[in-house]
Amino acid sequence: MRPIVASDLMNPDVVTVNEALSVEALAQFLTDNEISGAPVVDGEGSLIGVVSMVDVAKVAAHADATHGNFLRTEPGYESIEFDDQAEETLTVVDVLTPTVFTVAEDASVSEVASIMMRHHLHRVLVINDDEELVGIISTSDLLGLLIG
The pLDDT tens digits of the residues spanning 13-67 come to 999 999 999 999 999 999 999 999 999 999 998 999 999 999 998 887 765 544 4
Q: Which fold has domain 6-147?
A: CBS-domain (3.10.580)
Secondary structure (3-state) at 2:
coil
pTM: 0.77
The pLDDT assigned to 63 comes to 59
What is the enclosing helix (H) or strand (E) of 54?
helix 53-66
88 pLDDT band, cuts 50/70/90, is low
Full DSSP string of 66-128: HTS--EE-SSSGGGEE--S--GGG-BHHHH-B----EEETT-BHHHHHHHHHHTT-SEEEEE-
Q: How high does pLDDT run on average in the chain?
A: 85
Q: How do the domains of the chain map onto residue ranges?
A: 6-147
Compute the average pLDDT of residues 95-117.
96
* Ramachandran sector of residue 59 (left: φ over 0; alpha: ψ -120 to 50; beta: rest): alpha
Cβ atoms of 116 and 139 within 8 Å: the answer is: yes
